[in-house]
A = this chain, B = another copy of it.
């Protein structure tokens, strides 16, 4: 289980847009993942309001959803090489600007998997999950491999 954390860099610090935005890995669990986007001047989209750029929220939700889907599949077989997931569809609604100065949390749950598809919902908020900044509904195509090494994740 602990080794599932090894997946995270591929979704955050290990990708150029995640690193550039300063997205941080918070946690991963079976079908769940959470990232944080700390407030910083480099991600301000509107100097007048100091609100961060909406595209940073898109990247946050896209990435955290992908990790949740992967974490759902991987945990079934306890093998981080058991499958690849690729985004099939991503639908995002944006409720309001994130509050200047606040860290934005992106948290995703993979609530259903079939043989081919993983279904994920994600929320971005800046402290109160009941007052979201953005919502996300996503599907991922799963390509399952033969078990590579049953000991890979333990």
Count chain B CB atoms within 10 A of each CB in A20, A21, A94 and give the residue with the most: A94
Per DSSP, chain A at the interface is: mixed
Residues of chain A in range 1-29 having any CB-CB distance to chain B below 8 Å: 10, 15-22
Q: A21 CA to B17 CA in the complex, in Å?
A: 6
Contacts of A112 in B (CB 8 A): 95-96, 131-132
A68, chain B: closest CB distance, angstroms: 14
Count chain B CB atoms within 10 A of each CB in A21, A22, A97 and give the residue with the most: A21
Which of A's residues lie within 8 Å of B, judged by CB? 10, 15-22, 42-43, 45-46, 53-56, 58-59, 62-63, 66, 84, 86-97, 111-112, 114, 116-117, 119, 121, 130-132, 135, 137, 139, 141
